[in-house]
């Protein structure tokens, strides 16, 4: 199985890695087209930063950031568009403009109306685990068993979604690297991804440029590609369906080589 790549397009002034870089609509469109040319399987557009310590913005501000880009994007690329939002009104506007994936870092908890929209529109939805809120989530997070607790959270969210009329095959689960996690939690999640496969749904891993990818060498966000690719490698090894990344070109090329090696290993095992 080849891992699919979700290219990140932050239309925000304050995202931790590329805040302010793609606010201009022409630049954003150019970047989206570039990521598709580099091999992105979908583009994830976000108008609200959910980095640690970030403060909530108004719905109107989020709409003002994403709509100009979305109005032009569907005619510029041929891959699916994902909207990274926690709010029904924003998701509705994005779906009306062509988005077919809703990427919710709150797993349908922050806006009670969002689940109804997902079910009605029959779109894919990413349900991410997050401890706390973006503003507070890195203030002393803790777990007794991080894998067991995330797994239980996923089961509850899946049951909730199905109870509202949703289909399990529309769900992509994301364990939420860096969202209310200690460094050791992030590493344990990456090492234990196969356990989440027991839930019978698709998985996504989003570790790109996050603090855990640079914690061992102190590298800044724009110099965390090696650490980011280490997480991508674990995702591929464990059968994760999606990785969400900033560095699309490097990730796609890395995965092609990794897949070729994996296929050779399988061939040798079959011949043994």
Active site residue ranges = 210, 244
Residue 6 near residue 242, CB atoms below 8 Å: yes
Q: Do β-strands 4-10 and 242-245 pair in parallel, antiparallel, or remain unpaired? A: parallel
Residues with Cβ < 8 Å from 21, sequence gap 6 or more? 10, 27
> Encoding tokens for residue 267?
């061939």
Residue 125 near residue 111, CB atoms below 8 Å: no
Residue 100 near residue 123, CB atoms below 8 Å: yes
Percent helix, strand, coil in the chain, to 5, is 45, 15, 40
Please state, in angstroms and rounded to a whole number, the distance separating the CA atoms of residues 124 and 170: 5
Other CB atoms within 10 A of residue 119 CB? 17
- 242, with CB counted inside 10 A (0-12, 13-18, 19+), is buried
Any idea how long the chain is? Answer: 272
> Encoding tokens for residue 157?
């969210």
């Amino acid at each position: 199985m080849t891992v699919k790549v979700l290219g990140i397009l932050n239309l925000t002034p304050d995202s931790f890695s590329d805040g302010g870089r793609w606010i201009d609509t022409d630049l954003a469109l150019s970047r989206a087209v570039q990521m598709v040319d580099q091999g992105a399987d979908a583009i994830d557009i976000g108008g609200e930063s959910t980095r640690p310590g970030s403060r909530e913005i108004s719905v109107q501000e989020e709409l003002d950031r994403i709509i100009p880009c979305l109005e032009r994007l569907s005619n510029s690329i041929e891959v699916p568009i994902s909207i990274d939002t926690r709010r029904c009104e924003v998701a509705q506007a994005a779906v009306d403009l062509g988005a077919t994936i809703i990427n919710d870092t709150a797993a349908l908890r922050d806006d009670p109306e969002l689940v109804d929209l997902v079910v009605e529109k029959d779109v894919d939805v990413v349900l991410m685990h997050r401890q706390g809120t973006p503003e507070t989530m890195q203030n002393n997070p803790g777990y007794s068993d991080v894998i067991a607790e995330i797994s239980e959270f996923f089961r509850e969210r899946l049951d909730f979604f199905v109870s509202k009329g949703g289909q399990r095959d529309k769900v992509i689960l994301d364990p939420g690297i860096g969202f209310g996690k200690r460094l050791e939690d992030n590493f344990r999640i990456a090492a234990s991804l196969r356990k989440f496969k027991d839930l019978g749904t698709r998985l996504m891993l989003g570790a790109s440029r996050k603090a855990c990818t640079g914690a061992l060498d102190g590298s800044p966000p724009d110099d965390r590609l090696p650490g980011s690719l280490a997480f991508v490698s674990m995702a591929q090894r464990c059968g994760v369906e999606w990785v969400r990344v900033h560095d699309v070109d490097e990730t796609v090329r890395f995965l092609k080589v990794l897949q070729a090696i994996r296929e050779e290993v399988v061939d040798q095992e079959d011949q043994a």
